[in-house]
């Protein structure tokens, strides 16, 4: 089974799915902003708000929800890839102590295991595991709403503790955090925001990981030999 090929098919689908899905909402926002039909005859109002503001905000929220859905698909693809690598490629298992860690996030456990098998500390790969880990954390956050009045999701304290500069946040909030202008605390946390740029960057990191593992799979030979010798003792 060509595991990397199937992963790439999923990654390509996620890229395409995002662009196709948000195109209608982007067009709706553009039509509202430019006063095109069916938004060319705004109703009379004296409240001072822009015409069709609710419709514009709904379209913007829909784009955010598509982003969260795509991150969820990416997280699932990553987990499926890791499990197949474990079961079909290198045929290893985790001991009981690592299985407990898996419940809090599988990326770190697989990173350590594959690092041992491929004899790497991953620095040479230039893979940004912080982004990959945040794919899973963001997926988990996006699955559980916390406010009936809004679809927006706040980054939780656990994620901020592990990643003080979260990757999937509003650009202006990320900049404010970097400049020290936004002091994140218990009552003030940044909002999740999946932009096209951040989604594609995350997809690219997952693809880079699979490419690196495939390119360096021969480095696992000493690990295989050592395991075989141990079994024969």
233 residues of the chain, pLDDT tens digit each: 899 999 999 999 999 999 999 999 999 999 999 999 999 988 887 777 889 999 999 999 999 999 999 999 999 999 999 999 999 999 998 877 666 666 667 999 999 999 999 999 999 999 999 999 999 999 998 887 777 788 888 888 888 888 888 999 988 877 777 666 555 655 577 889 999 999 999 999 999 999 999 999 999 999 999 888 877 76
Q: How far apart are CA 95 and CA 89, in angstroms?
A: 18
Q: In the prediction, which pLDDT does 11 show?
A: 98
Residue 176 lies in a domain: yes
Q: In the prediction, which pLDDT does 172 show?
A: 80
- pTM beyond 0.95, yes or no: no
Residue 21 lies in a domain: yes
Q: Which two tokens stand for residue 73?
A: 């698909």
Residue 184 lies in a domain: yes
Residue 44 lies in a domain: no
Note whether 209 and 107 are within 8 A (CB): no
Residue 46 lies in a domain: no
Measured CA to CA in angstroms, residue 183 lies from 49, 131, 170, 177, 204 at distances of: 31, 22, 15, 7, 30
Q: How far apart are CA 128 and CA 167, in angstroms?
A: 11
Q: In the prediction, which pLDDT does 171 show?
A: 81
Domain containing 28 equals 3-39+52-232
Residue 47 lies in a domain: no
Residue 148 lies in a domain: yes
Residue 141 lies in a domain: yes
Q: Which two tokens stand for residue 65?
A: 């929800």
Q: How far apart are CA 42 and CA 81, in angstroms?
A: 50
Q: How far apart are CA 209 and CA 213, in angstroms?
A: 6
Residue 218 three-state SS: helix
Total tally of structural domains belonging to the chain: 1
CA angle 227, 228, 229 (to 5 degrees): 90
CA angle 156, 158, 163 (to 5 degrees): 95
Q: In the prediction, which pLDDT does 4 show?
A: 96
Q: Which two tokens stand for residue 175?
A: 């900049």
């Amino acid at each position: 089974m060509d595991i990397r090929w199937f992963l790439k098919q999923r990654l390509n689908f996620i890229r395409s799915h995002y662009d196709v899905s948000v195109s209608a909402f982007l067009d709706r926002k553009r039509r509202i902003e430019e006063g095109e039909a069916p938004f060319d005859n705004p109703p009379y109002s004296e409240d001072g708000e822009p015409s069709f503001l609710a419709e514009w905000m709904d379209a913007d929220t829909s784009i955010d929800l598509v982003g969260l859905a795509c991150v969820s698909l990416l997280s699932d693809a990553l987990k499926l890839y890791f499990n197949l690598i474990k079961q079909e490629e290198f045929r290893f298992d985790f001991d009981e102590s690592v299985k407990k860690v898996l419940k809090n996030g599988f990326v770190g456990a697989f990173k350590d295991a594959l690092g041992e098998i491929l004899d790497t500390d991953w620095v040479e790969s230039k893979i940004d595991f912080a982004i990959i880990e945040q794919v899973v954390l963001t997926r988990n956050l996006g699955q559980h709403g916390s406010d009936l009045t809004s679809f927006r999701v706040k980054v939780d304290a656990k994620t901020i503790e592990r990643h003080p500069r979260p990757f999937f946040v509003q650009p202006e909030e990320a900049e404010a955090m970097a400049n020290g202008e936004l002091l994140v605390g218990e009552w003030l946390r940044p909002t999740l925001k999946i932009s096209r740029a951040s989604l594609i960057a995350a997809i690219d990191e997952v693809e880079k990981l699979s490419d690196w593992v495939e390119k360096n799979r021969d480095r696992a030979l000493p690990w295989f030999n050592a395991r075989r010798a141990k079994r024969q003792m």
